[in-house]
Amino acid sequence: MLPITETEEGVSFAVRIVPRSSRNEIAGIQDDALKIKLTAPPVEGRANEACVKYLSRVLGVAGSCVTITAGLKSKNKRLFVAGITRAELESRIREP
């Protein structure tokens, strides 16, 4: 189960990015973080941009609602998503 911190403004959780993958997808939970595979390379912030864009689409929120709060230069990041609850996050990231 993914550890999620919920506030009145939104939710915060850890992610682990796997850049240069064959496709963008949520690949489960690894070490208490949501594992996300992205096609973007980890250079010049492209993987960060792809992460925000992909998650905003998956979660059904505007890109401006998804913020990387820690780990900008790391595969391990902390994200904050404004405007959704823990229950909404869990239902939208559920593995197929």
Identify which of 89, 93, 96, 94 has the alpha carbon closest to the alpha carbon of residue 7. Answer: 89
Boundaries of domain holding 10? 4-93
CATH number of residue 78's parent domain:
3.30.1200.10
- Written as one string, the DSSP assignment of 30-83 is ETTEEEEE-SS-SSTTHHHHHHHHHHHHHHTS-GGGEEEEE-TTSSEEEEEEET
Identify which of 32, 33, 72 has the alpha carbon closest to the alpha carbon of residue 52. Answer: 72
**pLDDT tens sequence across 29-87:** 999 999 999 999 999 999 999 999 999 999 999 999 999 999 999 999 999 999 999 99
Count of domains observed in the chain: 1
| pLDDT at residue 95 is higher than 60 | no
Give the separation between CA 37 and CA 86, rounded to whole angstroms.
22
What was the pLDDT predicted at 96? 46
| pLDDT at residue 15 is higher than 90 | yes
